[in-house]
Amino acid sequence: MANQKRPVETTAPSQSPLNVLAIGAVCLVVGLAVGYYFGRQTAGGGSTGGTFSQAQGSDPGPQASVVDPAVLQQNEARLKSDLAASPNDARILVQLGNLYYDSGRFRDAVDYYGRALDLDPRNVDVRTDRGTSYWNLGQADAAIVEFQKALEVDPAHAQTLYNMGVVYLSGKNNPAEARKTWEKLLATNPNYPDRAKVQEQLSSLGASPAMPASPGAAKQGEGKGVDDLLQRMKSRQ
């Protein structure tokens, strides 16, 4: 179920080159800030997974590989050999899913995460990674289904709630659901590390003032430049 593309037949007012550049710069910063939250949750696959933040109706396209092709081929062969010897080992299936996620092969990641979930359906981290893989394939509806299943097991799972809010906002153009999801994130995770950032996003959606920030949350964001904030997001598991 890929994102729906709706043709628009309106004529926009002309923009000056400087205005176009300014708007493009703002969009790039916002896209990066959101995208860094989409790191892979499951362990055992190497680096943090690829990031993705596409607007509704856009085509994700192929993602850049973060795994050396020779290393990918070697690890893939080893893991598939292990799997042939132990076909019901969910750990090996997850490792293959992680390997494909990290190399941008999200369709393969979906398949192997799915096989692992057949054996361990209550693994919330794997379920969330499968949903994020669907999102990287441009399938917002399928991503939300996986996130909903994860929340049935752990209603307060922070990364699932954050990712789900992003998909509602950017993939479904539904700020009301995004706001509701992020408010639940803050309510169920009072010490959420990036609480101040989420509250900023809620404010940008016109949300009513929600729960107060946890102690030290405002101080945490003071003096932090965009680059520093993005780096903290990127490194968070």
Looking at the structure of the chain, the number of domains it has is: 2
Q: Are residues 173 and 201 in the same domain?
A: yes
Q: 81 lies in a domain? A: yes
Residue-wise pLDDT for 109-131, tens only, equals 999 999 999 999 999 999 999 99
Q: What's the CA gap between 105 and 10, in Å, rounded? A: 37
Q: What's the CA gap between 9 and 177, in Å, rounded? A: 27
- pTM over 0.75? The answer is no
Element (H, E) at 128: helix 124-136
Q: Taking each helix axis as running N to C, give the angle between helix 175-188 and helix 195-204, from 0 to 180 degrees, rounded to the nearest 10.
A: 150
Q: What is the CATH number of the domain that holds 82?
A: 1.25.40.10
Contact between residue 126 and residue 94 where contact means Cβ atoms under 8 Å apart: yes
Q: 211 lies in a domain? A: no
Residue 46 has pLDDT above 50, yes or no: no
Residue 216 has pLDDT above 50, yes or no: no
Q: Are residues 145 and 202 in the same domain?
A: yes
- The whole-number pLDDT of residue 65 equals 53
Q: Are residues 144 and 199 in the same domain?
A: yes
Exposure string over 53-88, b if 16+ CB within 10 A, otherwise e: bbebeeebeebeeebeeeebeebbeebeeebeeeee
Domain residue limits at 151: 140-206
Q: Are residues 146 and 117 in the same domain?
A: no
Q: 36 lies in a domain? A: no
At residue 93, φ and ψ (nearest 5 deg) are -60, -40
Least confident of 132-146, 147-161, 194-208, 223-237: 223-237
Q: Are residues 152 and 111 in the same domain?
A: no
Q: What's the CA gap between 122 and 116, in Å, rounded? A: 10
Region 75-102 average pLDDT: 96
Q: Are residues 152 and 94 in the same domain?
A: no
